[in-house]
Amino acid sequence: MRLLIVISAFIVVSKSCEQIRSPLCQTGVGYNLTIFPNLAGHLFQGGAIVGLQNIRALIDQKCSPNIREFLCRVYIPECYQGKPVLPSWEMCQEAYEGCHQLMSSLGQSWSFSLNCSKFEQSTIDSIKTKSKDNTEFWFGTGVNKLCNAPHATIACKHHQAVVDYRTPMNPTEVDNPYVFLLYEQTGRISATGSLIQNLTSNTVAALHANSHFRGPKAISWVRIKQDPYSITYLGSRSVVNNCPSLVSEALHHHPASFIPSNTILDMSVDVTYTPSSISFISCCKTYVYNEKSFSINPIGNSTVKTAHVRSSAIPSVSLSKRDWYPEAIQFADNELYTLMMVDPDAGSSPYLHWLVLNIPKGNVNDGVSVREYKGPAPPSGVHTYYFLLYKQTAKINPSVIGNYTTSCSRCGFKISNFVSNNHLELKGASWMLSSHDEYVRHLHVDESSKDRTQVCSGQSGFPASCTSVGSSVTVG
């Protein structure tokens, strides 16, 4: 009889050490550099700080002499030569004995991330040796199945599923292995509640202490790479926001002079339009645009109709940080941001379509709108419209914007000078494509009083459509 176990493993290879930002761990722990992900599953330091704050009562009440160092090493791990230094089993056990009752009295349990068996490395080291893997962490159990079958070849045809199969996903930049382990059972096992809890809440190392299992008898694995589906799926469920990594990669293919070649974004800029219905005449044809709602997708290459992003259809913009459980990540009171929308295809210098300064706590609506939103109207061809989010180091006086534009107040925006002089750091970006279309021609004729014959020259049906009664064109 066999027990088949599939382990989902988030493998961590952090690129570099970083300074500790958590006040709880900046003193009294013997180190000042950290690296992520951590043992609690946080990809970045922001999420770890929130997680540590939730159990800081243990530190405040000093339930164990080493509780501060232990919790810091779990949540804000020491970085040594580009690798995390794990707390010892002895340190964990001492912290558990002194603090688990206090944790229970606070209505919390000694969580899986604090389980001392996580620091028993024998089984994990064995797996890593067999798979010739040199990375550092294996997180969590993905799928366990009790296979009460006499032959391994048909092992899971008639199994008892403890946890149903879940699709492997990887929202990180590092390949993520999923390991299949086969254990031999000493006999038929009934999937009782206590056994299920044991299998789903403990590490693989705990199986060696269980008299029901022998092994592992066999091992296999598959590596899963990062993909947009995983990032989108987990992001929509507020598990992890790693969309900025995809946007960063796509941004590197944009040869804009104002975007540094080494830019790594760590915030999402989600732009949503909800334009109302509109009808207009363009080159003697009537167009009807229906009401709709959509978010722009910088990864795609589709164009957006200018009527859908017109000046009266001011978009809503939401900001979020790149981290685990992004909804729990708060903006500091002193954080200020600048949001701008520019068209670099308008000439030698970008045209400024929108500028909001001094955005507090990530709320764009509370910022100072220095240049109101103006919808795209490319004079010819296809233009790219960038939404750029910068972090400020201090408040910016709105009156200085005139120093970076020409007399038209939006033309020739000296974006690089503005960013440099105000010490701005690019944190997030999005963009969309729009082309010269029927709505732009409508604006040229009806609002800018340009010559209709010249504007509409070459358009299908013009000028014949001006003397006949035609049907309207409806656009979704």
Write down all domains in the chain, each with its CATH number in brackets. Answer: 1-13+121-226 (no CATH), 17-81+87-120 (1.10.2000.10), 239-456 (3.90.280.10)
- What residues contact 9, with CB distance under 8 A and at least 6 apart? 137, 138, 139, 140, 176, 177, 178, 179
Q: Rounded to whole angstroms, how far apart are CA atoms 307 and 288?
A: 10
Q: What is the pLDDT of residue 160?
A: 62
Which tops the pLDDT comparison, 362 or 110?
362
The per-residue pLDDT for 164 is: 67
Average pLDDT over residues 38-60: 87
Write out the two tokens for 275: 């334009």
Q: Residue holding tokens 């809440």?
A: 201
* Segment 76-91 mean pLDDT: 82
Predicted confidence at residue 137, as pLDDT, reads 33
Of the given ranges (39-48, 349-358, 431-440), which has the lowest mean pLDDT?
39-48
Per-residue model confidence as pLDDT tens digits over 132-189: 443 333 333 333 344 444 443 333 445 566 666 777 888 877 777 888 777 777 777 7
Whole-structure pTM over 0.75, yes or no? no
Rg of the Cα trace of the chain? 29
Q: Are 272 and 309 in contact (CB under 8 A)?
A: no
pLDDT for the residue numbered 123: 43
Given a cut of 60, is residue 277 above it in pLDDT? yes
| Structure-block tokens of residue 366 | 């509370």
- Lowest average pLDDT, out of 109-113, 282-286, 296-300, goes to 109-113
Parallel, antiparallel, or unpaired for β 316-321 and 323-324?
Answer: unpaired
- Closest to 178 in 3D by CA, of 140, 126, 132: 140
